[in-house]
Chain A
Amino acid sequence: MSGFELTEEQREIVAAVRDFVDRDVVPHASDFEHADEFPTQMVETMRDMGLFGTTIPEEYGGLGLGLDTYAMIIMELSRGWVTLSGILNGSFIAAWMIRLHGTDEQRQKFLPQLASCEIRAAFSMTEPHAGSDVQSILMTAERDGDEYVLNGQKMWVTNGWRSGLIMLLAKTDPTTDPPHKGMTGFIVEKEPETNPDGLTIPMPGLKKLGYKGVESTELVFDDFRTPASSILGGEAGIGNGFQYFMSGIEAGRVNVAARGAGLAEAALNDSLQYAQEREAFGKPIGHHQAVQLMLAKMATRAEAARLLTLQAAQKKQAGGRADLEAGMAKYFATEAAQENSTDALRIHGGYGYSLEYRPERYYRDAPLLMIGEGSNEIQQLIIARRLLERHKV
Chain B
Amino acid sequence: MNQGDTNAIEAALRLKEAAGDCEVVLVSMGPDDAINSLRKGLAMGADRATLVSDTGAAGSDIVGTTNVLAAVLTHETPDLILFGQQSADSDGAVLWAAVADRLRQPVISQATSLDLSEGKATVKRQTEYGYDVIEAPLPCVIAVSDGINEPRYPSLKGIMGAKKKPQAIVTLESLGVGAEQAGTAGSRTEVKSLNDPPARGDSQLIEGDGEAAARVLAFLNEKKLT
Partner among B40, B43, B155, B160 whose Cβ is within 8 Å of the Cβ of A48: B155
- A382 lies within 8 A of chain B by Cβ: no
Choose from A45, A63, A65 the contact partner of B153 (Cβ within 8 Å): A45
Contact B157 A12, beta carbon cutoff 8 Å: no
Q: B residues within 8 A CB of A49?
A: 153-156
Q: Which of B15-62 contact A (CB under 8 A)?
A: 39-40, 43
Complex-state Cα separation, A13 to B39, whole angstroms: 12
**B153 touching A12 by the CB < 8 A rule?**
no
Residues of A in contact, count (CB < 8 Å) = 15
A50 touches B155 (CB 8 A): yes
- Minimum CB–CB distance from A9 to chain B (whole Å) comes to 6
Minimum distance in angstroms from B85 CB to a CB of chain A: 17
Alpha-carbon distance between A19 and B152 when the two chains are bound, in angstroms: 11
- Given the known A-B contacts A12-B39, A12-B43, are A48 and B156 also in contact in the complex, defined by CB atoms under 8 Å? no
> Is the Cβ of B43 less than 8 Å from the Cβ of A16?
yes
Interface residue? A20 (CB, 8 A)? yes
| Residues of chain B within 8 A of A20, CB atoms compared | 153
- Asked whether, in the complex, the Cβ of A16 is within 8 Å of the Cβ of B152, the reply is no
Q: In the complex, which residues of chain B have a beta carbon less than 8 angstroms from the beta carbon of A50? A: 155-157
Task: Enumerate chain A residues within 8 angstroms of B162, measured Cβ to Cβ.
Answer: 12
> B154 contacts which chain A residues (CB < 8 A)?
12, 16, 49
Those of B157-188 within 8 Å (CB) of chain A = 157, 159-160, 162-163
C-alpha spacing A50/B153, complex, angstroms: 10
Q: Which residues of B contact A (CB under 8 A)?
A: 39-40, 43, 152-157, 159-160, 162-163
Residues of A within 8 A of B159 (CB): 9, 12-13, 16
Roughly how many angstroms separate A65 CA and B160 CA in the complex, as a whole number? Answer: 10
Q: In the complex, which of the residues A19, A45, A51 contacts B156, with contact meaning CB atoms closer than 8 Å?
A: A51
Contacts of B39 in A (CB 8 A): 12
Q: Mark A17-32, 1 if CB is under 8 A from B, else 0.
A: 0011000000000000
Residue contacts A-B, CB under 8 angstroms, 7 given: A9-B160, A12-B39, A12-B159, A16-B159, A19-B153, A48-B152, A65-B156
Q: How far is the CB of A334 from chain B (nearest CB, A)?
A: 26
Q: Is A217 an interface residue (CB 8 A)?
A: no
Q: Does A54 contact B (CB under 8 A)?
A: yes
Determine how close the nearest CB of chain B comes to the CB of A121; give it in whole angstroms.
19
Q: Shortest Cβ distance from A76 into chain B, in angstroms?
A: 12
Most chain B CB neighbours (cut-off 10 Å) among A13, A16, A53: A16
Residue of B with least CB distance to A54: B156
Q: Which of B40, B43, B160, B163 is the one whose CB lies under 8 Å from A63?
A: B160
Cβ-defined contact, B153 with A16, below 8 A: yes
Closest residue on chain B to residue A64 by CB atoms: B160
Q: Chain B residues with Cβ under 8 A from A16's Cβ?
A: 43, 153-154, 156, 159
